[in-house]
Amino acid sequence: MAQARGKARAPRKEPVLGERFSVFAESLLTGVWIAVACLGIVTYPAAFAAGARHLRRRTTHTAGGLREFAADFRAAVRRGWLVGLAGWAAVAAVWVDVQAARAGLPGGPLVGAVGLLALIAAAVAGMRAAATWTPGESWRALLGAAGRRTVVDPAGSFLLVGGLAVVACSGWLVPPLAVPVLGAVAAAAVAVEERYRHR
């Protein structure tokens, strides 16, 4: 009888499938928030960092919503806009390399390929840095550590490259679908960093 009462008093856990689906749905909503916060052109690192922090709160069952996302975004954008500006400068440099390759300049194809690979590696490092961001942390230190993790954890890095490919394909085939998929990529970045931390 006492055993039956003990079982009755135990809190009911949410089914695993239900919990996973709610995290997936939350990540799609977070993708919309990230996309809106990216409208500032150079604010994409801060938007991704705020989205990843929101998803970390969600997976640890800590309360938080749009208000907390906005507060994190404001904190991340203070220095994060410089990272966004550097990212656009890197894109411009790679575009010049690709144009040189297409013009038939000697060594152009090699320079273009190296530049494209470097840009992808930088994007992965940026996502990994944003996935671990917390208010008050230095973006420079985060990016340095994330660059090392990008090299020493190739499996996680390839997973994020796949996420970028999904966003690109979604945007090409069904442009509105790319918006919520951003949240799924943020969730993947959080998962990759958690996996690296616990291995």
> In this predicted structure, what is the pLDDT of residue 6?
46
> In this predicted structure, what is the pLDDT of residue 48?
96
pLDDT tens track for 116-127: 899 999 999 999
Cβ-based neighbours of 83, under 8 Å, separated by 6 or more:
45, 126, 139, 143
pLDDT tens track for 136-194: 999 999 999 999 999 999 999 999 999 889 888 888 888 888 899 899 999 999 999 99
- The per-type count for the chain, helices as H runs and strands as E runs, is 8, 0
CA 78/CA 43 separation, integer angstroms: 10
In 3-state terms the chain splits into helix, strand, coil percentages (rounded to 5) of 85, 0, 15
| Number of Cα atoms under 13 Å in the Cβ half of residue 96 | 5
pTM of the model: 0.84
* Residue 5 confidence (pLDDT) above 80: no
Helix axes 66-102, 16-37, angle to 10 degrees: 70
118-144: burial string, b at 16+ Cβ within 10 Å, e else: ebbebbbbbbbbbbbbeeeeebeebbe
Query: Which two tokens mark 188?
Result: 């993947």
